[in-house]
Structure 1
Amino acid sequence: MYRIMIADDEPMIRKGLQKLIQQSGQPIASLRLAENGIDALNQIRESCPDFLFTDIRMPKMDGLELCRHTAELDPDIQIVVVSGYNDFEYAQRCLSYGVKEYLLKPISKKTVEAALEKLVYLHSKHTSPAFVSVHRLEEWVGEAEAAIWSLNHETLVKVVQQARVEISSHRLRLHQLIDLLDEFTVLLFKRLHSRDIFLFTERAPLHAADDEDSAWSQFQARLVLFFDELRMKRRGKLKDPVEEAKLYIEAHLAEEVSLEDVAERIGLNASYFSQLFKQSTRETFVQYRTRRRMEKAKKLLAQPHYRITDISGEVGYADHPHFTKTFKKYAGCLPSEYRNKLGIDR
C-alpha cells in the first residue's frame, strides 16, 4: 500500500491526476492533495509519502524548491515532476534532487501508469530490507505481555531494547517505524484485554515524532502506562482514576486545584496521571478544567439573577478580566454578549 501526494496549484489538474492515479490499479494507502509547495512540505513533515507528484510552477514555493526540501527531509521519497514547460534546464535541476520522472502536460493515463510502475519497482528495491515479519512482531508482543502481566519492569525494558536493536537493522523510514510501533501497541492491548480480568485503557496512536528517538520514547511511555495501570488495579484501586479525577475537578471548579493536587487525591504519580488523563480525554488537565469551567459559566449566565462578576468567582477566576478573556476565547463572545444572545439584558 503506497502513500501518495499531489502538489499542484491548479484544482482541475490536481483532481485529474488524482483520478488517473486512483485508476492505475496500484494499491493506495493514502492520496493527499496540496495546493502549493509550502502546503505540501508541511504535510510531508507530518507524514512522509512514498511518492510525490509535483508541478514546477506554483505560488509560495515552486516545485524545484519543494523537490530540494523533500530530498533533504527524506531522500527515499520517489518524486515525479509534472510540468507544462518543456525546459531541459528544469529537467536537469530536477534530476539533481533525485527526481525519478519528468512528465509533460497534458498527461495521460498511460504515462501516469508507466511512472507509477517505475516508482513501485524502485520502491520495492529500496525498501525490501525494511520488512519486519508478523511472526517476529507477535513474538515481541508476547514477551512484552508476559513482562507486564508479571510486573517485571526489568524484563520489559530488555524486550524493548532487543526489539529496537533488531528493528533498527531493517532501516525503516520514520513513518514505517511509527506504524510498526502503533501496531505493536494495538496487539499488546488486545492480548492484555483478552485475559478478561482487568479492562485496560486503549492507547491513542503515537503523536507526530520528529525522529526515531522521539518515536521510541513515546512508545516506551505507552508500555509503562500499561504496566502502571495493571499494578494499580492489582492493588485494589478498581475505580477509573480519570473518572474519579473528573468528579473531583467538577466539585472544585471554583477553586484553583492543580494537576498535582488531583493526582495526590487519587493516589497517582503526577507525571503518570498527566499522561493517563490526556490518553483518556484527548485533552490536557488544564484544557479539560478550563472547558468545564466555561460550560458551567454558560449555565450560570443563563440564570438572570447571577451577576457576571459573581459568575467569574463561581468558576474559579478571582481576576474578572481574565475570566472574560478566557470566556471570549472559548465561546467567541464576551459574557455580556452571550447573555444578550439569550435575551437577558443584564
Structure 2
Amino acid sequence: MHRILVVDDEPMIRRGLEKLIQQADTSLIHTDTAENGVDALEKIRSSRPTILFTDIRMPRMDGLELCQRMQELYGDIPIVVVSGYGDFEYAQKCMSYGVKEYLLKPVTKAGVQGAVNKLLAGLATESERAYISLSKLELWLEQIEEAVWHLQDEVIREMIEEMRIYCSSRRIEERQLAQLLNELLAKLVKQIKQRDVYPIVCEELLAEASRDSGFDGFERSVQGLMKLIRAKRKGLLREPVEEAKGYIERNLSKELSLEEVADMLGLNASYFSQLFKQMTGETFVHYRIKRRMELAKKLLAAGNHKITDVSYEVGYADHPHFTKTFKKFTGYTPSEYRATLGIE
C-alpha cells in the first residue's frame, strides 16, 4: 500500500486531488492531507508517505520552504508541485530542491494519475536496484567467515572488492551501506565466536567499526579480526591435535578427560572432540585407550614388570578392567600375551 500526502490550504482542492489520486488504483493507494508545510512535516514524522503532492502558496510554511526541508530531511520521498501560472518562478526554485513533477492548475485526471504512475514505477525500479537479497548477504557472510577463519588475506580483498562493485551497481545509499556493513561485521564476529575455539574479545573492534563506516573501514575491521585470531593461534606451539596427542602420551597413567585436554589447549570441548575425530579418524577416548594398550604391550614385553604394576602404569587401578580392555584390543589376556612372547 502506497501512502500519498496532499498538502494544500484550500479544502476543495485537497479533496479534488485526493479523489483523482485514489482513482489511479484504490487497492494500492491510501491518501492523507495536510493544510500547510508545518502540518505536513508533523504527519511525515509520524508516517512517511510514498509521494508528496504540495501547493506553492500556503500559510505558516509555503510549498517552497516545505520542498527545501524535505530535501534536507527526506530526500528519498518524491515531490509533485501543483501551482498556478503566476507561481512558475517559485515552481522553478522548487525543482532545484529535487521536485520530480510539476503540475499546473487546474489539474486534470490524466495529469495527476500520469504523475502518480510514473513516480510509483520509478520507485519500484529504484527499490529493485537498491535491494540486496538475504541470500546474497548470507553468501557474503559465509564466504568471508571461511576466509577469515583460514586467514586468507587475498580472498578477503577480492570479496570486499566484489561487494563494493555490487553495492555501487545497486546504488546503495551511504547510510544504508554503513548499516549493512556494521550488521555484517557484527554477524561475522558472532559466528567466529560461536566456533568458540580461540576466545576473542572484539568489543573494541566493533566500536571502532561503528565510527568508521564504508568498505575501507569494513576491511580494516576484518583485518583486525584476523589479527586477533593470528595472535591467539600463535600461543600454540603445535597444531591442537598434535599438542593433544603429546599431552595424552605424557599422562597415560592418569585418567584424562576430553574436557581437561580441551581446556589445556584453550579449546571448546565439543569443537575439540570433532576436530580430534576429523584429524585422527578416532574418538578421543578410543585413541587414549589404544595408546595405553600399546604402552602396556611394551611393558609386558620387558618381562621385569608385574602385570598389576603394568595395569597401574597405564592408568588402570582396577586390574580386572585392565585385563578385559587389553584382551579386547589384542585378543589376549596380559598373561596370554606374555606367553606368546615366551615370557613366563
Task: Return the TM-score normalized by structure 2.
Answer: 0.42
Task: Return the TM-score normalized by structure 1.
Answer: 0.41
Q: Whose Rg is larger? A: 2
